[in-house]
Amino acid sequence: MSQVNVALVGSQFISEIHAESLKRVPRANVLAVASPTEEHVTDFADRHGIPNHFTDYRKMLEMGEVDVVLLGLPNDLHAEAAIAAAEAGKHVICEKPLCLNLADADAMIDACDAAGVKLMYAEELCFTPKYVRLKQLADEGALGDIYMVKQSEKHDGPHAPWFWDVDRSGGGVTLDMGCHAFHFFRWMLPGAEVTSVYAQMDTAVHGDKTRGDDNAVIIVTFSNGATCVAEESWAKPGGMDDRAEVHGSDGVAYADLLHGNAIRTFSREGYGYAVEKADSTAGWTFTIYEEAWNYGFPQEMEHFVDCVADDTEPLVTGRDGREALRMVFAAYESAGTGRKIEFPYETAARRPIDLWRPAP
């Protein structure tokens, strides 16, 4: 297959990134987009030069030319859309988190397996250039035996209202961004199994908006003896902050994803755009460039398109998404009970938030 026809489901923030990233992938042809609001999906299709648009993604799935469907939907719609796409014979790329619970994750995986299509989990940290180089250092033994990994992602809150609604999102910052850290740890420590998860969560700033956590620290231990620490926050003003550290017996490496690639800028009046989640550009700021490339989105999309075109195994699969989700649930149960959650671990909980703050 020389070219892969892609259909987008969603037309908000993450789908904008997906559309822009796919323009950099030579083998990708974005054929269609679906989003429920006619005015918005029409504008999205016009701006990105997408020839077909729909307000019902199920109608889009009837297009025989579509090879892969890329889901940029709210969390509570992931499973339904992924299963529908698989039943229509389409490969699936699903944004993080995979879905709301482990039963839905299993249903997504089973549907894709039954249809003989790929379920690819869009974890961009595995494609982020600076983090890819960090992993290369660890893999080639430059740091010795790895005993600790840290990853943090912090800003002052998400873009869309549904993130704050735990009935739709399923949780707070641990589900939204902790899932990045959890797969990052597994990626940095290949072959090691999770042995325990311990978490402290708070709603420190945004209690007027959500029952979900907006600040969290999670400690994960692995079977090779490594300890991993995730720091996640929706409570930090000033724009995105994304960092990682790897500590080993013979060395240490620090990777600051954004500040090291930014232009230090001072402006009395402010300017148009600095970096994701920055609410002001007055004063000192760090002005990012090639933002999508620095995050790894075009590289991620090129890899997934190649997997469809060449029928190869994705670097990040639906099963990887399920493992990250399992760790998310363990973190919420730890925060709710005040105890370390030992692995193996499974839960039938419907949403992560229910293990920490059940609905009143």
Report pLDDT digits (tens) over 96-146: 999 999 999 999 999 999 999 999 999 999 999 999 999 999 999 999 999
Give SS3 for 330. helix
Specify the domain boundaries for CATH 3.40.50.720 within the chain.
4-122
Q: Which DSSP category does 317 fall into?
A: B
Task: Give mean pLDDT, residues 44-52.
Answer: 98
Closest CA to 188 of 102, 101, 255, 240: 255
CB 50 within 8 A of CB 31: yes
Q: What are phi and psi of 275, to 5 degrees?
A: -160, 160
Query: pLDDT, tens digit, for every residue of 152-187?
Result: 999 999 989 999 999 999 999 999 999 999 999 999
pLDDT band at 277 (very low <50, low <70, confident <90, very high): confident
- Which CATH number fits the domain 4-122, given the four candidates 3.40.350.10, 3.40.50.720, 1.10.3720.10, 3.40.50.620? 3.40.50.720
Whole-angstrom CA distances from 319 to 30, 286, 359 are 26, 36, 29
Q: What are phi and psi of 184, to 5 degrees?
A: -55, -45
Query: pLDDT, tens digit, for every residue of 67-81?
Result: 999 999 999 999 999
| Assigned token pair, 270 | 């402010």
Report the mean per-residue pLDDT for the chain. Answer: 95
May I ask the CATH architecture of the domain 126-296+324-355? 2-Layer Sandwich (3.30)
Task: Give mean pLDDT, residues 203-210.
Answer: 97
pLDDT band at 286 (very low <50, low <70, confident <90, very high): confident
Specify the domain boundaries for CATH 3.30.360.10 within the chain.
126-296+324-355
CB 156 within 8 A of CB 236: yes
Residues contacting 239, CB < 8 A, separation 6+: 155, 274, 275, 276, 277, 278, 279, 285, 286
Q: Which amino acid is at 221?
A: T
Residues contacting 47, CB < 8 A, separation 6+: none
